[in-house]
Amino acid sequence: MHNLGKREERGIGKVLIVIDMQNDFVTGTLGNQEAQAIVPNVQAKVKEYADRGDWIILTRDTHEENYLDTPEGKKLPVKHCINGTEGWQIVPELEVENCEYIDKPTFGWLN
């Protein structure tokens, strides 16, 4: 899930939050050419922050196998971002060491 408590250990710096850049949204069931086209720019920004040692957070839209039975699944009946699948994974070009993840089970953030 997430461990945002590490922020204090990093000191003051910049934070980059990359929202739901997952395989299913880029090349998978809900992917498109526009999403694919932005990957190099997002990758460059992630590298810039990583090279400085800044804080990088990657969010993941996270559904379970019963997604189509949920209220969201009834509104968007396309199975996507099922926890643990290839489609749920962050686009490989954006993965960096020491990033943190927030798994989101619904729109917004429940905390």
Domains of the chain: residue spans and CATH:
13-105 (3.40.50.850)
pLDDT computed for residue 1 by the predictor: 47
Chain segment 5-43, per-residue pLDDT in tens = 555 555 668 999 999 999 999 999 999 999 999 999 999
Lowest model confidence (mean pLDDT) among 12-16, 42-46, 52-56, 72-76:
12-16
Residue 7 identity (one-letter amino acid):
R
71: enclosing H helix or E strand? helix 71-75
Q: Is the pLDDT of residue 3 over 60?
A: no
What pTM was computed for the model? 0.85
